[in-house]
Amino acid sequence: MRAYEVQDTDTDYEGVVEVDRERPTPAADEVLVRIRAASLNYRDLAIANADLAYPGMSLPVVPLSDGAGDVVDVGADVDRLAAGDRVATPFAPDWIDGPATTEKIRRTTGGNVDGALAEYATFPAESLPVLPDYLSYEDGATLSCAGLTAWRALAEDGDLGAGETVLALGTGGVSTFALQFASLHGAETIVTSSSDEKLDRARELGADETLNYERTPEWGEAIVERTGGVDHVVEVGGPGTLERSLEAAAFGGHVHLIGVLAGQAGQVDPSAILHKGLDVEGVMGVGSRAMFDRMLDAMAVAELQPVIDRVFDFEDARDAYRYVDAGKHQGKVVISLE
């Protein structure tokens, strides 16, 4: 079968190499999936880029946690799934339900176990959510990390309700899903970006307010002036944006720590956490299969459509990495394996 491996880390993704591999055989509790599409997250850049850092990876590895395809073979002990079922791949294949534990999130797809950028892959049958019929393979391939991270932060950890306010930093995969899920729950939404074009698109997707952070560098203060503070911040920037996110949050608000897109250096004044009684929650391990199932149920009610910026051919996978690294995308970038 065709596959890619991250064999080495460099700054131009030349270490992401197309290879020929033996098609895997499912163990008794596993299924074999013919992968039809996969998508990239910032995490995948960190695994392959020498200038970034991702803990616990093991090279060489087939990259990407996010994929979708068809079950084509099942292990001897599997009765939950059958050949022909359309499924999405798991981020943490051992986390089926309940709270996260070290053991449940020890293995991560595309990090220390082989991922979705291959024509065939095996996964524990219990780890795979079944896709609703209305989603294409490309749609389904956007959900495992970005979609589920945003869902868990807002709906599971944050208990988001109608009438609350959500601030999404940027317009990448997690932030765009956060905008969509917030709108789905009847929440008011604010989106930031340095691109007016992306902000226009965010408003088309349902954003109630937008803010260009280059023209308004003190955007935390500006958001408080506009809203009195937001109930939820989907914080993907890390130390580079966290202090302003804390400033933008309302008393008793939630700040969901997800990424480090703005860099890992710097110190953050924690006084806002104390003075406003903020809940600052790290979203680690993405989410369980049970959370994934609940997310898909909610999406299916509204037939919520993931936002796909561009689809690359399998042969152009390295170009997909470079495109995401350039930061020009809005929503998800997908690689087709058809």
Report the pLDDT value the prediction gives residue 166, as an integer from 0 to 100.
98
278-288 pLDDT, tens digit per residue, is 999 888 779 99
Our CA angle for 32, 33, 37, nearest 5°, is: 160
Q: How confident is the model at residue 239 (pLDDT cuts 50, 70, 90)?
A: confident
How far apart are the C-alpha atoms of 192 and 112, rounded to whole Å?
Answer: 33
Report the pLDDT value the prediction gives residue 267, as an integer from 0 to 100.
67
Report the pLDDT value the prediction gives residue 268, as an integer from 0 to 100.
73
Length of the chain: 338
Average pLDDT, the chain: 94
How far apart are the C-alpha atoms of 106 and 144, rounded to whole Å?
Answer: 16
Q: Which two tokens stand for residue 173?
A: 């995969």
How far apart are the C-alpha atoms of 32 and 10, rounded to whole Å?
Answer: 31
73-127 pLDDT, tens digit per residue, is 999 999 999 999 999 999 999 999 999 999 999 999 999 999 999 999 999 999 9
User: Does 266 have pLDDT greater than 80?
Assistant: no
How far apart are the C-alpha atoms of 48 and 46, rounded to whole Å?
Answer: 5
User: Does 181 have pLDDT greater than 70?
Assistant: yes
Fill in the amino acid letter for 139.
D
Report the pLDDT value the prediction gives residue 263, as an integer from 0 to 100.
47
Instruction: Say how many CA atoms lie within 13 Å of 252 toward its Cβ.
Output: 1
- Of all residues in the chain, the percent with pLDDT exceeding 70 is 97
User: Does 238 have pLDDT greater than 90?
Assistant: no
User: Does 162 have pLDDT greater than 70?
Assistant: yes
Task: Say what the pTM is.
Answer: 0.94
203-223 pLDDT, tens digit per residue, is 999 999 999 999 999 999 999
In Å, how far are 91, 116, 293 from 288, measured between CA atoms? 9, 18, 9
